[in-house]
């Protein structure tokens, strides 16, 4: 069978505590990339906002923002140049003075193959991501890895089922989610429930990486299209592996054809919020 058209795909999910020094963080990312390659993985998902973070400096991620042409991404691209691993993560890139975008990138074979600016900013639970971060306008592209279609989302996007459904209706078979899910009352339960719900809503595999540390829960997960968790991490740094089975996906979609059974059209995601006419 030709390369890239197999029935199974091995994937990796890495989680770690992002620190204040971007050089240290990119070293962790490239080491996880090397371990994933050595294990035969085709896809590696890493957390959200991996450039820089410090507990007592909540704005450090934005203050440390680098363009996609900067040194951080250059090292990721260099680490990917001689292999076929696709690595997905997010980092902050500068927009206007003092502001940034939360940019998801997919890196493969020495270059960025996809970009996505986080659509839903985390203005909830007494946090206001939009204070310094600019939202994107469009859902991410669907990319292909080893013959499987991958839809891309970021953290808080998980709470918006229409975004996951839009990706599935565009052909996504796997939903990938870098995240930095904050600790708080019931938040671990929200994470588990929402990941499972998005898998069942879309009959997709869901592959989610959670940043760990003092403020975020970690708990990276891989969930199959019938809502079964097939791999998971706890709260500590980890690299976990799972195999995505195309035939499992096909059989689940035959048994649970929710994408075919839908009786209404998907509302188009608006590019901008409607104007207030009052």
One of 77, 118, 129, 212 is an active-site residue; which one? 118
Residue 268, Ramachandran bin (φ over 0: left; ψ between -120 and 50: alpha; else beta)? beta
Place of tokens 């590696």: 44
Among the listed residues 48, 129, 173, 211, the single catalytic one is: 48
The verdict on whether 212 is a catalytic residue reads no
> What's the gap between Cα 264 and its chain centre?
28
CA distances from 163 to 9, 86, 144, 160, 278 (A): 24, 22, 18, 6, 28
Partnered with residue 45 across adjacent β-strands are 13, 88
**Catalytic: which of 29, 77, 155, 204?**
155
H or E segment at 238?
strand 238-245
Name beta bridge partners: 206: 175, 223
Could you confirm whether 48 is annotated as catalytic? yes
Q: Which residues contact 33 (CB under 8 A, 6 or more apart)?
A: 44, 76, 79, 80, 85, 87
Question: Catalytic amino acids?
Answer: 48, 118, 155
């Amino acid at each position: 069978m030709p390369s890239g058209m197999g029935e199974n795909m091995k994937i990796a999910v890495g989680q770690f505590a992002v620190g204040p020094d971007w050089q240290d963080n990119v070293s962790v990312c490239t080491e996880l990339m090397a371990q994933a390659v050595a294990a035969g993985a085709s896809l590696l998902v890493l957390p959200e906002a991996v450039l820089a973070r410090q507990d007592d400096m909540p704005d450090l991620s934005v203050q440390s923002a680098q363009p996609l042409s900067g040194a951080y991404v250059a090292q990721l691209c260099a680490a990917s140049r001689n292999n076929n691993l696709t690595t997905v993560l997010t980092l902050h890139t500068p927009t206007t003075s003092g502001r940034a975008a939360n940019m998801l990138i997919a890196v493969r074979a020495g270059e960025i193959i996809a970009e996505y600016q986080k659509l839903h900013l985390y203005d909830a639970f007494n946090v206001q991501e939009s204070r310094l971060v600019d939202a994107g306008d469009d859902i991410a592209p669907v990319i292909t890895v080893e013959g499987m279609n991958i839809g891309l989302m970021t953290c808080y996007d998980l709470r918006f089922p229409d975004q996951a459904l839009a990706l599935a209706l565009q052909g996504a078979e796997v939903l990938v989610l870098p995240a930095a899910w904050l600790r708080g009352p019931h938040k671990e339960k929200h994470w588990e429930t929402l990941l499972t719900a998005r898998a069942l809503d879309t009959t997709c595999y869901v592959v989610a990486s959670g940043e760990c540390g003092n403020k975020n829960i970690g708990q990276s997960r891989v969930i199959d299209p019938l809502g079964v968790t097939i791999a998971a991490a706890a709260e500590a740094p980890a690299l976990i592996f799972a195999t995505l089975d195309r035939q499992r996906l096909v059989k689940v979609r035959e048994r649970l054809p929710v994408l075919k059974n839908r009786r209404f059209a998907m509302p188009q995601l608006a590019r901008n919020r409607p104007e207030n006419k009052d």
